[in-house]
Amino acid sequence: MCGIAGVIMRGGGAPDPAVLDRLLKALAHRGPDGHGSLVRGDTALLHTRLAIVDLVTGDQPLFAPSGTALVANAEIYNNPELRVELDGTPFVTRSDCEPAVFLYESMGDGFAARLRGMYAIAIHDPARGRVVLARDPFGIKQLYYVETAAAFAFASEPQALVAAGFARADADPVRRAELLQLKFTTGAQTMFPGVMRVLPGETLVVEAGRIVARHRIDALPAGKPLPIRHGDALERLEGVLTDSVAVHLRSDVPYGLFLSGGIDSSALLALMTRLTGNRINVLTMGWQGAGAADESREAERLAKIQGAEYQRLEMGEADFWAFAPRIAAAIDDPTADAAVLPTWMLGRAARAAGLKVTLCGEGADEIFGGYSRYRKRRAPFSWFARPPRTKGVLGGAIADWRDGLAVAEVASAAGRTPLQAAQAVDVAEWLPNDLLVKLDRCLMVHGVEGRTPFLDPVVARFGFLLPDAEKAGLRFGKVLLRDWLAKAFPEAGAYARKKGFKPPVGAWMAARGTALARLVAEQAGVAAAVPSAVVMAAFEGAAENSQRAWSLLFYGLWHAHHVMGVDPSGDIAAVLSAARASARP
């Protein structure tokens, strides 16, 4: 994994070297192992490298003999197979990204359809005077762009575009409402006005600094579920999971696993151990204090059964106060999901343990039907169930926040069962704009790559077209995955109810109740969006309903750093106090 950026000037002339330098510096944390650049005429491509595959010759940009150049934030898992198919191609590196530039030369704009992996790619084709941007269908890797009167610019993180002067540090009020009510933002427009997402699966063609064409690859197959016998489904699941985990283990550096104790990561642990025969490096997170949902001891038990190298981390109230501002600063495309806290801590621990790659369970719920909202979509319950997320986190305190989600619901419904439609909405919005942003930023800030074997096109085609009954049962979701795990790793408790991976932020915030509430209510970004009385009420009830208070606190910290420029190195109170002081006339 890496960081990429680029500039295409609209009026001719070369990009400003000072601007390019600011882009590189803003993405330096994504590529601690080196950087590269290419400036040709009106176009510049930039790359910061986290070396995972081909440590010796894999520096970027990569070139075809014609001069076509590529920079990528990517892991292309079918690289070996592509190199066989492209026999006779003059490869000069072992980089897993090099085949992509030759696929572009032979296939043009549709080259991404041949890639199996996670990627954000930029290709400069000097012969045709164009730059082509492509993002993987699930949106595992993010890519953002800005169109100004002078230039088209893109980067792996929106904060880099702000730092380089292509966008202003401000919060779009519509996206702010979404964040506070949904915990994430939808669609192409980000929180920063004018900064757009390349959508999951999208390919953009840019000529003379303007987008001239768009293409899109769907993450999920069309059509309703296909009939299949349960025994046959179990057998096929064994094959697709084994294949996906095997290709996700392709790496030239040490790798590990984030193990929560739930069925998704337990399945990965069993498969990784079986495929490698090695002791897998496992990290898990527990919480200090009584009363918190903590499955770390269960994870430890499972790790010992599989003979893994196990490390249990513990996060407490002091860590929360110390690190929350830095975590909010890392999530420039904001998500008010409290799971950012343990994910950031795990990323830091992985780097300290010498792990550059970790496998993670993201995507299993969306592909195999894990959420309770999916069970409500099975007939006959679907006749009575309301659409998910109809009530915002802050209730009636903020209006007009659901339009983006409603658009996704309409687009996802055609030709699908109600359960599939709910899955498709999550894959289109919740997954790329919450879970995968969280994973990318919390790990890449520490120079660690997160891999997601459940978000693989082979796995998705199989899982999404399973009969509804193989996904959502009356008591449990992920029916088929649980049944497979019960046979493959019976000690994992496939039918046990998961406690969740949620830190006890409610108790931590309640410990400083009124004082913290006042600081949050007086933070300029929060004060512009939410009445003080609503903020105070949210913190008074933080112990019972932590999400309301956490959403407000997270946004206050995010706004303090990304809009007001407050240094996030202090604790929560120091950062909010500094924001209050800087807002005074």
pLDDT in the model for residue 159 = 98
Low-confidence ranges of the chain (pLDDT < 50): none
29-46 burial, b at 16+ Cβ within 10 Å, e below that, comes to bbbeeebbbbeeebbbbb
The count of other CB atoms within 10 Å of the CB of residue 68 is 20
The predicted model scores a pTM of 0.97
pLDDT digits (tens, 9 = 90+) for 439-457: 999 999 999 999 999 999 9
pLDDT digits (tens, 9 = 90+) for 385-431: 788 899 999 999 999 999 999 999 999 999 999 999 999 999 999 99
pLDDT digits (tens, 9 = 90+) for 477-528: 999 999 999 999 999 999 987 766 689 999 999 999 899 999 999 999 999 9
pLDDT digits (tens, 9 = 90+) for 250-265: 999 999 999 998 999 9
Percent of the chain residues past pLDDT 70, beyond the cut: 98
Quickly list H helices, 353-417. Answer: 364-368, 372-375, 403-413
Residues 6+ apart with CB under 8 A from 17: none
Domains of the chain: 2-216 (3.60.20.10), 230-492 (3.40.50.620), 505-583 (no CATH)
Secondary structure (DSSP) of 202-237: EEEEEETTEEEEEEE--SS-SSSPPP--HHHHHHHH
Percent of the chain residues past pLDDT 90, beyond the cut: 91
Rounded to whole angstroms, how far apart are CA atoms 500 and 291? 13
CB 549 within 8 A of CB 509: yes
Taking all residues of the chain, what is their mean pLDDT, rounded to a whole number?
95
With CA atoms as reference, report the closest residue to 101 among 84, 123, 83.
123
Rounded to whole angstroms, how far apart are CA atoms 475 and 280? 32
Rounded to whole angstroms, how far apart are CA atoms 214 and 204? 5
pLDDT in the model for residue 378 = 86
Secondary structure (DSSP) of 383-394: GTPPPTT-S-TT
Rounded to whole angstroms, how far apart are CA atoms 3 and 72? 8
3-state secondary structure labels for all residues of 73-107: EEEECCHHHHHHHCCCCCCCCCCCCHHHHHHHHHH
pLDDT in the model for residue 474 = 86
pLDDT in the model for residue 51 = 86
